[in-house]
Amino acid sequence: MTGRGIDPASFAARLVRWQRDQGRHDLPWQQGRDPYRVWVSEIMLQQTRVDTVLRYYPRFLQRFPDVRALAAAALDEVLEQWSGLGYYRRARNLHACARQVCLLHGGHFPRTRQELEALAGIGRSTAAAIAVFCFEQREAILDANVQRVLGRAFGLRPGSDAASRKAMWDCAESLLPRQDLPAYTQGLMDLGATVCKPTRPDCLLCPFAADCPRELDPVRAARAPAPAARRSLPWVLLWARDPARPAIWLQRRDAHGIWPGLWCLPQHDDESRALAQARALGGVLHCVRHDPVLHRLTHVDLLLHPMEVVLRPHALAADAGDGAGWFDPARALRLGLPAPVRKLLQRA
């Protein structure tokens, strides 16, 4: 049975009541109004599940307890703490933003959405969330969860075109209450994450179950065609070791593409090229081919073939610099490494 439609005038009050009774209240970034803690959580939660963030968030704050500590750290330290969270551009922007806050704002986060949005890596919705939760500004958020809630509740069709985006933002702003902004905003997040899910929504648990026109689901209607089959990339990872020091050869990856800016074992398309680089680094003593490792990314599967080459470096082999070099194993593990490479070196 199709609902008669949700009354926009009562939407906020009903959502706030539901959030106070059924919403999430014990997440670590909800304890207080420190904009640094809220900001870090908002960036980590972009395209990452809450249960994953809960494993990384306490460790990150222990290493970087405030924005000044984060700004003073080297980028490699930040990437090390981020290793395994993926979407590494977020970590680079996090570091750049911390430096902007210290340089331009004296180490204090600005209070308005417009000023927050001017900082590196902070979009309109993230800026609004910080402004609401930390400074109780009257701003609307519109992340993927909220778009889904509003789309289903009010028959809005999500889309990337300007008209669709404007309709969504107009709706989000028109629903803002005059009070209880933090509870309302958290309610939108909680409802989208725990009840109004992309597939198999728990409609019976929804505070709008009686009058939501869910059978006319614009989110479902606007769903993109099924994606093409996932790509698979076979990579040979050159694990060059100098046992005399001991040391491992690492290269920093480009700032674009997969694992941007991280230190990594050199990647090659085939073993012959990996061996050619090994011979350029030194005299090969012996070679061991390890079992392949499947590492799934959002749009591609990496089939990693670690090839361990023990060698005696040439006298002219470069020491560690900005782009490549020899690292002792302990120092290597303090760098920003891709998660599968870190696990490989840790096992060794």
Q: Which domains does the chain have, with CATH numbers?
A: 8-221 (1.10.340.30), 231-347 (3.90.79.10)
Query: Measured in whole angstroms, how far is the alpha carbon of residue 249 from the centre of its chain?
Result: 28
| Distance separating alpha carbons of residues 268 and 265, to the nearest angstrom | 10
What pLDDT does 1 receive?
Answer: 37
Q: Which residue has the higher pLDDT, 256 or 73?
A: 73
| Distance separating alpha carbons of residues 179 and 201, to the nearest angstrom | 28
* SS3 assignment, position 232: strand
Residue 164 Cα distances to 156, 159, 160, 222, angstroms:
8, 5, 7, 11
What pLDDT does 4 receive?
Answer: 63
For residue 217, name the pLDDT band (cuts at 50, 70, 90): low
For residue 2, name the pLDDT band (cuts at 50, 70, 90): very low
Q: Which residue has the higher pLDDT, 324 or 227?
A: 324
Q: Does the pLDDT value for residue 260 go beyond 50? A: yes
42 part of the active site: yes
When pLDDT is averaged across residues 35-46 and rounded to a whole number, the result is 96
Do residues 117 and 127 make contact, with C-beta atoms less than 8 angstroms apart? yes
Q: Does the pLDDT value for residue 312 go beyond 50? A: yes
| Distance separating alpha carbons of residues 154 and 305, to the nearest angstrom | 50
pTM above 0.85, yes or no: no
Q: Does the pLDDT value for residue 271 go beyond 70? A: yes
| Helix (H), strand (E) at residue 339 | helix 339-347
Catalytic pick from 42, 80, 139, 308? 42
* SS3 assignment, position 203: helix
Q: Does the pLDDT value for residue 317 go beyond 80? A: no
Average pLDDT of the residues of the chain: 91
Structure tokens at 317: 């082999």
Judged by average pLDDT, the poorest of 10-14, 218-222, 285-289, 297-301 is 218-222
Residue 291 Cα distances to 124, 222, 233, 277, angstroms:
45, 42, 16, 21
